[in-house]
Structure 1
Amino acid sequence: MLSQLRKEQRLIEDWSSPLITREYAHGPLPPFEHAAELVRNGECAPTAPKLQQRCLISTSVLDTGGIDEFVAFLSRRLPSHGIATTIMLTDPAARRGLLLRSVREEGIQVIQESVENSRRWLTDNRPDVISAHAPPDWLIEAAHDARIPVVETLHAVPTPIGTNWQAEARRSQCIRFFVAVSELVRLQYMRGNPAFQPDAIVTIPNGFNDRQRPPVDRTAARQWLGLEDEFLFVSLGRHVLQKNAYGLISAFSAVAQTFRHAHLLIAGRMDDALYMQQLLRLRGRSGASDRIHLRDSISHPSILLCAADCFVLNSFFEGWPLASMEALCAGLPVIMSDVGGAREQVGREGKFGYIVANPAGDPETVTWETAARHRFQTQRNRAELVSAMNDIIDNREHWEAERSVIAREARIRFDVEACIKQYVNVLGKAAAA
């Protein structure tokens, strides 16, 4: 088992070296492993008011995924609105993660026990409300038995563990409210479970967490990565089927033939070693293997966003991807497949980038099964994705000049206080009902 784990870890590059190794005449760069030196400190958290409610926030792991980031965000921000938070990890075998260590160091209580002990904790402590994120059935059942109201956030449909629509009508009877992170997710859920009360599912787009994504000097970030005149596409996401790096690499291989200075960086946690092996094989056949960088997740993604020229995400399905929103708030143009959040984040006017067709067809009906059928095929949005990437490179000077405008407008559109206040409202309603 240990030898297999070590073999899998070697499939992905870490952050011990720049993307491009160069010698600089003006002196040495900061040590590459000291990425934090490039990141300026964010604002301090405000003093919390008197805590009037207790909220348990459940998730399976706390590492580097979008759901993980949002759970950490809620746990940090709700106390400033009078809601005490505790996190429960519902996967007892979850590995130690970057966010887990961080929130514990900040003094946030994290429970990671067996299912039996976690159920007992719920009965003994009875929080006022549970904010559930991809919850397992046992948690919903335990909360129902203990008469604890549950507000479940739908980060995507299908959920990360798949949505059993035959059982969902019954399961949803134990949920007080659903929060959909985008209108597409709300429509997908209502189509799958039409019996659920429409007024009990609300749409709350995620806000931009500026405290955890402080600005970085672009010149320093590009030097740190070894970039000069290269054009860098960045995609942040786990190396799994859902994110569809295979389709992205396939499209970029065509872009790379036209633009010899173009590079693609895909950075994220490797959750599927077999899928990663397919990505490596495709990169080897691409004709641009030295310009396609497959990296592990990074503690400070702000560095990559500030260094990049464009963000691209070619997922089969999403709810409200945080990485693309953060890219906009960093001033990057964004290319996204038509998934949840794309229409609200990027729009159709071309002001902030481009939405291309979903790689598997209708974004409202895509499932894990349809994604699996299309994962290693020539995908239907390939030509459109290639065209969008080519266009962004062709108009590099325009997008460079628009960075400050994109960033300013995105931070207004994705106001973090508006997001947290809506969560406070729905959690309060659930607790009071």
Structure 2
Amino acid sequence: MDAGGIDEFVAFLARRLPDRGIRSTVMVTDPAVSGGRLMRALQEEGIEVIHGYPSECLGWLREQRPDVISAHAPPDWLVQAAHELGIPVVETLHAAPTPIGTDWRAEGPRSRNIRFLIAVSDLVRRQYLRGNPAFSADAIYTIPNGFNSTHRQMTDRTAARKWLGLQDEFLFVSLARHVMQKNAYGLLVAFAEVAKLFPHAHLVLAGRADDPVYMKQLQLLHKKIPERHRIHLRDNISNPSPLLSAADCFVLNSFFEGWPLAPMEALCAGLPVVMSDVGGAREQIGLDGRHGCLVPNPLENPEAVTWDSVARERFRPQRNRAALVSAMNSIIANREYWATSRATLSSEAKVRFDTEACIQRYAQVLERAVVS
């Protein structure tokens, strides 16, 4: 457990469910994962973390017999074992398609071992029910992720910009792993046009390079852009608060998402958001322009995106490029308006993404799974 929205949200649940009377243990089922920032932080906070080979995890399940499992991208063997042990599973759908794709023929039988599903956005819920129509619509709940502000203390904006050496520059920030789902390649192509028009515009892309092949193509593209000195590729930042405090706008041009945490965190920091039409985008920034700009999905129809279509189009000219360029240009052109709106954007976002509402609904569904 280190970086990424799912890891952050699992940590959020582990920290907050005890407030609702639900003692939590985190089980990391991938033996290849070693340590990680979040895993260490949870252990230091006194939260039990189980990490080992499948046989070790199965042994723990048989011995401890938890009342319920809140599952996030669980392996099939865990779902099957929980079913055999009579432990109800509530699985959260963080995105569809999943990074490994969804075999809908296998999903029907697998889902019969799931008590309830939680979709993080209405788009994800619709995508799932279209692929697995036999699953009861009454057994899938939509609960948007909350923003855990207690673990993100904002930095003074003046100090943050001084730390980055910024004066009058306009700073776009994108926080996302360097993988094809997040589509940094398409964002770089679009920002190169913005940079030509606005010599003071900069872009920081910070994220873990989970796909070395994709990262190599991103670096090759970066070298070809004349304005590359204003495009900054960085590794993952464990605490992005100083970067968000210094930034003027957040931008995310993903092919697909479930409910991305980074733009929600940016809104809570008072930033306008430019985001492609993916799961959670309409709920987070809306269609009225009050919280930023929603641009079309790079593949046009967000409900029709598949892993194969993303792989085919990841390095090709994308259909939303002009709209993405126009949205970023508009944010820069209205810089003063957005600067004076920071406090309002932040206060509204913290109400809209209230963690208490999120954790309460999760607790209710988990408790319902135990008694049903």
**Which TM class, normalised by the smaller chain length?**
over 0.9
Distance of 2:154 and 2:298 partners within structure 1: 33
Correspondences of 1:416-431 after superposition (within 5 Å) = 416-431=355-370
Correspondences of 1:115-154 after superposition (within 5 Å) = 115-154=54-93
Deviation at 1:421, TM superposition (A): 0.1
1:193 has 2:128 as partner: no
Q: 2:23 aligns with which of 79, 84, 92?
A: 84
Distance of 1:255 and 1:286 partners within structure 2: 12
Distance of 1:391 and 1:285 partners within structure 2: 25
Aligned to 2:213: 274
Distance of 1:346 and 1:216 partners within structure 2: 23
1:210 has 2:153 as partner: no
Distance of 1:359 and 1:96 partners within structure 2: 35
Aligned to 1:292: 231
Question: Once the two structures are superposed, what CA deviation does each residue of 1:140-168 show, in whole Å capped at 9, x if it has no partner?
Answer: 11111111000000000012332111111
Identity %, equivalent residues: 65
Letter in 2 for 1:163: T
Name the structure where helix makes up a greater proportion of residues: 2
Aligned to 2:247: 308
Aligned to 1:63: 2
Aligned to 1:250: 189
Q: 1:227 aligns with which of 163, 166, 169?
A: 166
3-state secondary structure, aligned to 2:151: coil
3-state secondary structure, aligned to 1:354: strand
Question: Once the two structures are superposed, what CA deviation does each residue of 1:53-107 show, in whole Å capped at 9, x if it has no partner?
Answer: xxxxxxxxx1110000000000000001100000000101113211111111101
Aligned to 1:331: 270
Question: Once the two structures are superposed, what CA deviation does each residue of 1:207-230 show, in whole Å capped at 9, x if it has no partner?
Answer: 111101122101111111111111
Correspondences of 1:343-422 after superposition (within 5 Å) = 343-422=282-361
Find runs of 4+ consecutive structure 1 residues off by over 4 angstroms: none
3-state secondary structure, aligned to 1:383: helix
Unaligned runs of 5+ in 1: 1-61
Distance of 1:398 and 1:389 partners within structure 2: 14
Residues 335, 355 of structure 1: 8 Å contact kept: yes
Letter in 2 for 1:326: E
Residues 329, 408 of structure 1: 8 Å contact kept: yes
Deviation at 1:271, TM superposition (A): 0.3
Deviation at 1:289, TM superposition (A): 1.1
Distance of 1:90 and 1:64 partners within structure 2: 16
Deviation at 1:137, TM superposition (A): 0.6
Unaligned runs of 5+ in 2: none
Distance of 2:123 and 2:185 partners within structure 1: 24
Q: CA RMSD in A?
A: 0.7
Distance of 1:142 and 1:305 partners within structure 2: 42
3-state secondary structure, aligned to 1:304: helix
**For this pair of structures, how many residues does the alignment match?**
372
Letter in 2 for 1:328: L
Residues 99, 307 of structure 2: 8 Å contact kept: no
Distance of 1:298 and 1:313 partners within structure 2: 16
Distance of 1:109 and 1:251 partners within structure 2: 44
Question: Once the two structures are superposed, what CA deviation does each residue of 1:285-342 show, in whole Å capped at 9, x if it has no partner?
Answer: 1111111111111121111111100000000000000000000011000000000000
TM-score using structure 1 length:
0.85
3-state secondary structure, aligned to 2:290: coil
Q: Which moved more, 1:178-187 or 1:158-167?
A: 158-167
Correspondences of 1:1-12 after superposition (within 5 Å) = none
Aligned to 1:163: 102
3-state secondary structure, aligned to 1:303: helix
Residues 357, 384 of structure 1: 8 Å contact kept: yes
